[in-house]
Structure 1
């Protein structure tokens, strides 16, 4: 069946007349140049502007990216949310904002695969494009991975929120940080101890930020899987997208056998991050969305293996 568009006969003014009714006016005379070479460039003006600027740039830039993963799906397309910035010297008016997105478009022409080596190259090139001695790039993205029910082995798709930041300085080189937030189940040890029949549980959000060693090789280890395992293996139970009754029995019994306070979670995850040789410093936090309280429970640990000692 074909839909036929029929214009109703009305007594409305023409579209041009309607626009003028709501404030549109005819273009006025134009005197300023239209050729880029003749346009003034205020951002590139040079004089004493009182202060240098630590950070100037753009954020909340969404763009499709490709991500490689050691877990299925091994190659995936997702959405990256970018932040780009650099410093500006006291003698410069500002930065050229369009150059950030020009750089992103250049790398996206053949599909932007986000990994640390590519982002290092990207950031160093960005500094050159901006004519600055430094540049900063952060990309946040949902990372997807297959998860099977422990009994049925029925598969579904889970995800965690990951990010990479790369800071480049012509004087000091690169600093790289990575992070991940994953969801877990925790069961309250106090509730288990005092209750006759059961124990309340909650969904926890474990967030980790890590500074990586200079010799870390992303081609031999997937940092996303490593951080996810640090969170999930220390929880009362893992989160599953598909659970049949035999699966649910196994997951709830596992949670009951492994009660965790929010304090327990950050200490256990910190122990795993401490043992990871590719991690030099870390921060781990956990926020439990309580099921029988109106508040959430939180805890955080920061540790730098280069300066801190255990014991």
Structure 2
């Protein structure tokens, strides 16, 4: 049953917020189950959603996990999977003018459960600005040649190119970051990690000084799509040194092109143990655990 919309109350006591959320629920039937009576099936799932959506939950991923467990119990199925999608409004301030602005991010939760085990993930969807290094490198070479033609000394050319932001084409980057762990992870922290990995953050509200700041920042920090994905993974490893090695990280970076008629995408994933070996120890990891494998509950020992 997919695209069920309900209002959720999420947050600790005194800090609860209402969220307009969308639920997708899936089940795996057992060997003896040929199918399900859809009307009764949907009714039961609606009851589960109504029961849990009417209560307050500290974090959205705990709701998803408990819902998956309950669906398995109520429907007598082998496995249940729950997806929850909503938005996360955060108050921020513009970088120069200091104006308060509400920035809205995507908030995601995924959980799976069998009769014996369960796992949960929390994630965010974040937008930012990405400046292309390739075009900027060509602009650098072109500008250097033109300045040489105009007779500027080499030391002056070098200084001019060092202090002047160079043009390039820009992309709107969309990052998705998911973390699965037994320990609690704050969605706000995930937003900051993903946003900081891009050439610059963007804002719903910008005054002229803010626009100049954002453009200069982005063009001083050009990155390819794969650079952003790698930077998010590196930031997660550094931020969550306390999480166990069997925690899981999944990243997707999608850049919407401006001068090309296509978009570009990069992904990265693995357990924190695998990523720590690769990033901190510079070790070669031939095969990373996939999200599907991490969620394969028959391999869990809790």
TM-score range relative to shorter protein: 0.7 to 0.9
Q: Name the one with the larger helix percent.
A: 2
Match of 1:229 in 2: 192
Give the whole-Å Cα distance in 1 for the aligned partners of 2:65 and 2:102.
30
* Cα distance change, pair 211–111 in 1 and its aligned pair in 2 (3 A): closer
Q: Contact 1:290 / 1:296 at 8 angstroms: preserved in 2? A: yes
TM-score by structure 2 length? 0.73
CA offsets per residue over residues 220-254 of structure 1, 9 Å max, x none? x51x1122112111211101111111111111111
Structure 2 residue 181 is the aligned partner of structure 1 residue 181: no
Match of 1:199 in 2: 168
Secondary structure class of the residue paired with 1:237: coil
Match of 2:294 in 1: none
Q: Contact 1:188 / 1:259 at 8 angstroms: preserved in 2? A: yes
* Cα distance change, pair 301–111 in 1 and its aligned pair in 2 (3 A): closer
Which structure would you say has the larger Rg? Answer: 1
Q: Name the one with the larger strand percent.
A: 1
Match of 1:26 in 2: none
- The 5 Å alignment of 1:150-161 reads 150-161=95-106
Q: Contact 2:83 / 2:108 at 8 angstroms: preserved in 1? A: yes
CA offsets per residue over residues 272-292 of structure 1, 9 Å max, x none? 122324372222121111122
Match of 2:18 in 1: 77
Cα distance, 1:115 vs. partner?
Answer: 2.7
Cα distance, 1:67 vs. partner?
Answer: 3.1
Cα distance, 1:266 vs. partner?
Answer: 1.0
- The 5 Å alignment of 1:82-97 reads 82-95=23-36, 96-97=41-42
Q: Contact 2:4 / 2:23 at 8 angstroms: preserved in 1? A: yes
Residue in structure 2 matching 1:241, options 185, 201, 204: 204
Secondary structure class of the residue paired with 1:292: coil
Give the whole-Å Cα distance in 2 for the aligned partners of 1:169 and 1:145.
35
Residue in structure 1 matching 2:224, options 222, 240, 261: 261
CA offsets per residue over residues 69-96 of structure 1, 9 Å max, x none? 9xxxx54322211112322223234332
Q: Contact 2:52 / 2:63 at 8 angstroms: preserved in 1? A: no
Give the whole-Å Cα distance in 2 for the aligned partners of 1:154 and 1:79.
27
- The 5 Å alignment of 1:279-290 reads 280-290=247-257
Residues paired across the two proteins, number: 244
Cα distance, 1:202 vs. partner?
Answer: 1.2
Secondary structure class of the residue paired with 2:3: strand
TM-score by structure 1 length? 0.71
Give the whole-Å Cα distance in 1 for the aligned partners of 2:132 and 2:10.
36
Structure 2 residue 110 is the aligned partner of structure 1 residue 141: no
Match of 2:272 in 1: 305
- The gaps in structure 2 that reach 5 residues or longer are 144-165, 284-302
